[in-house]
Amino acid sequence: MAMTPLDELRHSCSHVLATALLRIFPDAKLDIGPPTDTGFYYDVDLEHKLTTDDLAKLEAEMKKIAEENQPFLRKEVSRDEAVEIIKSRGQERYKLGRLADIPEGEKISFYQNGEFMDLCAGTHVRYTSKLKAFKLLSIAGAYHRGDEKNKQLQRIYGTAFASKDELAAYLTQLEQAKLRDHRKLGKDLKLFVVDDEVGQGLILWTPNGAIIRQELQTFISEELRKQGYSQVFTPHIGKLALYKTSGHFPYYKESQFTAFAEPDAMAQLATEGCSCAELTRRLEGVSAQFAAEINQRAGKEVIVKERILDADQLLEGFMLKPMNCPHHIKIFASQPHSYRDLPVRLAEFGTVYRWEQSGELNGMTRVRGFTQDDAHLFCTEDQVAQEVLGCLSLVKTVLTTLGMNDYRVRVGLRDPDSSKFTGDPAKWDVAEAACRTAASTLGVPFTEEPGEAAFYGPKIDFVIKDVIGREWQLGTVQVDYVLPVRFNLSYIGADNAPHRPVMIHRAPFGSMERFCGVLIEHFAGDFPAWLAPEQVRLVPISDKTIDYARALLAKLKAEGLRASLDEHSDKLGAKIRRAEIDKVPYTLVIGQKEAEANSVSVRSRARGDEGVMTADAYVAKLKAEVATRALPDKKKPAPAAPGAPAS
């Protein structure tokens, strides 16, 4: 695979970094140093714990090496010669393994610059002097070969560009990104908090954030009503039996909160001296009959013998729900359905809990409790393609309304080698074909990714890039042929015989938490009026007009607008500045002139001073902007041409 010139430059930087590393730390054992989308890194095994001071030293040494103007020389060798070179340089710990990765018959090459020589397919720039704009950024831990069972190495991250200007621009961009980080803005704009005592990864939505979430939920609910969905509500916990049937427990045990038993049962077990291990075993156990059913259905031993217990050993318990689907399935199954009723579309903003690893938690985007804008559709096989398409168009509507156009669509297919995926392969093929077709009619480029499917069926994910370039999976649509079988769902067809429905799981936002996190960064806190926690700030020039301002505030509130009045005795400039910092979309300046004419002087955060209009005209204008969920329009309206008739 040919490298781009930029990759070549960055890859060369990796080698120069390694050269510098060995000069300063001769005992360093090198692993691998590739270019990345944003720079390069090198993984190194080193007794010495690298510090930021070391980064500066390494960078200075790299500059020296660049100035030494060493040529990059390619050398092709036999496998035996390669082993000799690696051994002679004392780099056998990782490099011999890397050498073994090169398939037999492929060329083996080394690249040399100065005293340094590395096993490498290339390619490189010609001279180290070409490296003019690079910077080491951070040190991180990284497992050898990305496997947590292996030793953790020290990874040095850096970036490089063709010119110093581009490097500076990139570093500025990183700074800018920090300014719109949802964790910073969440604090500044008082949108949400996380409290140690409540727990890591558990979001407390403060009043301002709650307004945004409520508006988004209202928006979604309106769209769902248009599309024939029914709203339901279900509790936050469910019995283990439910998740044993669905297959969620205990296969995903490591990412679930621990199951808990009923208080009476716990007390009884405690008096019997039951150990925790025993309690767990009895909670996770299943009956022989149930195991046989599941194993037969799956066509393999899904339930291992150790989990099968006698009836008197089985202990029923509860768990925090990791998904809403089993609850919705039970609502569907609570009454008989005719084919005429289908599709049944059940929607809920359902809160679920997952035990994410502590190191994975991140602001609102990776949390332990979150609310999905979830829905489950139950339909006939003939309806699948159309319903999937309906779900996709809903996601697209949502993203378009919010001006989120930088996303990609990922069709997650099963990996034939993995036992994670259950169900009939023929049904999988049909479902995968339906997803592919639906994705292709969406008019958005999409990629197919084997192994990314849910265990019960293929899925279509919407992946959005945040400002730091990280990708977040938001909306998702998943086709499921498995759970209807597990829960023995049926509907009566036109032939008066029972048929198996197909389920579709979908969530246009994914989760309210993650979506809001990404949305905060998307708007950099400058929310459109319909989402802004505070839509209008009234700013009286002096307290002489405070009575008019108070009356106006009451009027705006009565009209359902979110307004506040700045009663500080600051000068106008300070009040304007405060409103700007609070990112309020509209500031109304109220002075003597306005009070006398029952008007307002409008200042838009997006467009600046917009002049004076009557209070009534402004209320009507803002209400229309909110009702249409308009995005902020940065452009000033074009002034009417002189002499042109007023429109």
Partner RNA sequence: GCCAACAUAGCUCAGCUGGUAGAGCAACGCUUUCGUAAAGCGUGGGUCAUCGGUUCAAAUCCGAUUGUUGGCUCCA
In the bound complex, what is the minimum distance in angstroms from residue 178's beta carbon to RNA? 9
Any bridge partners for residue 194, and if so which? Answer: 203
Stretch that binds RNA, among 68-76, 136-144, 401-409, 432-440 (CB under 7 A): 136-144
For the purposes of burial, counting CB atoms within 10 Å of the CB of 353, is it exposed (0-12), middle (13-18) or buried (19 or more)?
buried
- Closer CB to RNA, 248 or 328, in the complex: 248
* SS3 (DSSP) at 509: coil
542 binds RNA per the rule CB under 7 A:
yes
**Distance set, CA 190 to CA 213, 305, 534 (Å):** 13, 52, 12
Closest to RNA by CB, 492 or 572: 572
* Binder of RNA out of 30, 591, 618, 625 (CB under 7 A): 591
Q: Which residues make Cβ contacts (< 8 Å) with residue 514, sequence separation at least 6?
A: 364, 365, 366, 367, 370, 472, 474
- Tally of CB atoms within 10 A around 295: 14
Closest CB to RNA among residues 87, 577:
577
Return the number of the residue (77 or 612) whose C-beta is nearest RNA: 612
Stretch that binds RNA, among 65-73, 291-299, 430-438, 571-579 (CB under 7 A): 571-579
Other CB atoms within 10 Å distance of the CB of residue 54:
19
Q: Least separation, in Å, of the C-beta of 493 and RNA?
A: 28
> Are 33 and 42 contacting, i.e. CB atoms less than 8 angstroms apart?
yes
Identify the active-site residue in 135, 505, 514, 537.
505
Q: Is 376 a catalytic residue?
A: yes
Instruction: Considering the complex, state which of residue 9 and residue 156 has its C-beta at the smaller distance from RNA.
Output: 156
Binders of RNA among residues 41 to 80 (CB under 7 A) are: 49, 51
Q: Are strands 260-261 and 317-320 parallel, antiparallel or unpaired?
A: antiparallel
Distance of CA 308 to the CA centre of its chain: 38
The reply to whether 207 sits near RNA by the rule CB under 7 A is no
537 binds RNA (CB under 7 A): no
Instruction: Give the interface segment with RNA, choosing from 74-82, 194-202, 378-386, 528-536 (CB under 7 A).
Output: 194-202
- Please pick, among 13, 120, 325, 435, the residue that the annotation labels catalytic: 325
Neighbours of 265 (CB within 10 A): 17
CA angle 349, 479, 508 (to 5 degrees): 35
Of 181, 374, 526, 566, which one is the catalytic site residue?
374
DSSP character string of 215-266: HHHHHHHHHHHHTT-EE----SEEEHHHHHHHT-TTTTGGGSPPPEE-HHHH
User: Is 408 noted as a catalytic residue in this protein?
Assistant: no
Residue 67 Cβ, how far from RNA at the closest point, in Å?
A: 29
According to the binding rule CB under 7 A, does residue 612 interact with RNA? yes
For RNA, the closer CB: 266 or 606? 606
**Which residue in 144, 376, 396, 414 is the catalytic one?**
376
Sign of CA dihedral 352, 356, 359, 360: negative
- Residues in the interface with RNA (CB under 7 A) total 71
Residue 68 DSSP code: T
Residues in 239-268 that interact with RNA by CB under 7 A? 248, 252, 255-256
* Residue 126 lies near RNA (rule: CB under 7 A): no
Position 302 contacts RNA (CB under 7 A): no
Kindly tell me which residue out of 158, 601, 615, 622 binds RNA, with binding defined by CB under 7 A.
601
- For RNA, the closer CB: 266 or 361: 361
Candidates 396, 459, 603, 605; catalytic one: 459
Residue 194 within binding range of RNA, rule CB under 7 A = yes
CB environment 569-604: b (16+ within 10 A), e (fewer): eeeeeebbebbeebbbbbbbbbbeebbeeebbbbbb
Q: How far is CA 336 from CA 326, 382, 628, in A?
A: 17, 20, 40
CA–CA gap between residue 317 and residue 238 (Å, rounded)? 9
Between 394 and 576, whose beta carbon lies closer to RNA? 576
- Shortest approach of RNA to residue 431 CB, angstroms? 14
Closest CA to 324 of 256, 395, 374, 250: 374
Active site residue 459: yes
**Cβ closer to RNA: 106 or 175?**
175
The yes or no reply on residue 608 touching RNA (CB under 7 A) is yes
Integer angstrom CA distances of residue 143 from 139, 150, 171, 404, 471: 13, 6, 27, 35, 22
| 206 sits near RNA (criterion: CB under 7 A) | no
Position among 67, 115, 165, 570 found at the interface with RNA (CB under 7 A): 570
459-478 positions binding RNA, by CB under 7 A = 459, 468, 478
* 568 is a catalytic site residue: no
Q: From the list 57, 93, 132, 183, which residue makes contact with RNA (rule: CB under 7 A)? A: 183
273 near RNA (CB under 7 A)? no
The candidate with the shortest Cα–Cα distance to 573, out of 603, 600, 550, 593, is 603
- From 566, 517, 443, select the one nearest 205 (Cα to Cα): 517
Burial of 448 (0-12, 13-18, 19+ CB in 10 A): middle
Pick out residues in 333-372 that bind RNA (CB under 7 A): 354-363, 366
Using rule CB under 7 A, residue 594 touches RNA: yes
Is 418 an interacting residue with respect to RNA (CB under 7 A)?
A: no
Residue 139 found at the interface with RNA (CB under 7 A): yes
Give the DSSP H or E segment for 45: strand 40-45
Q: Is 127 a binder of RNA (CB under 7 A)?
A: no
The residue whose two tokens read 């599309």 is: 227
When computed from its CA atoms, the radius of gyration of the chain, rounded to whole angstroms, is: 31
Interior angle at CA 3, CA 146 and CA 73, nearest 5: 95
Residue closer to RNA (CB basis): 322 or 343: 322
Q: Exactly one of 248, 327, 354, 522 is catalytic; which is it?
A: 354
Name the catalytic one among 91, 112, 372, 478. 372
Q: Least CB distance from residue 183 to RNA, whole Å?
A: 5
312 catalytic? Reply is no
Residues forming the active site: 325, 354, 372, 374, 376, 459, 505
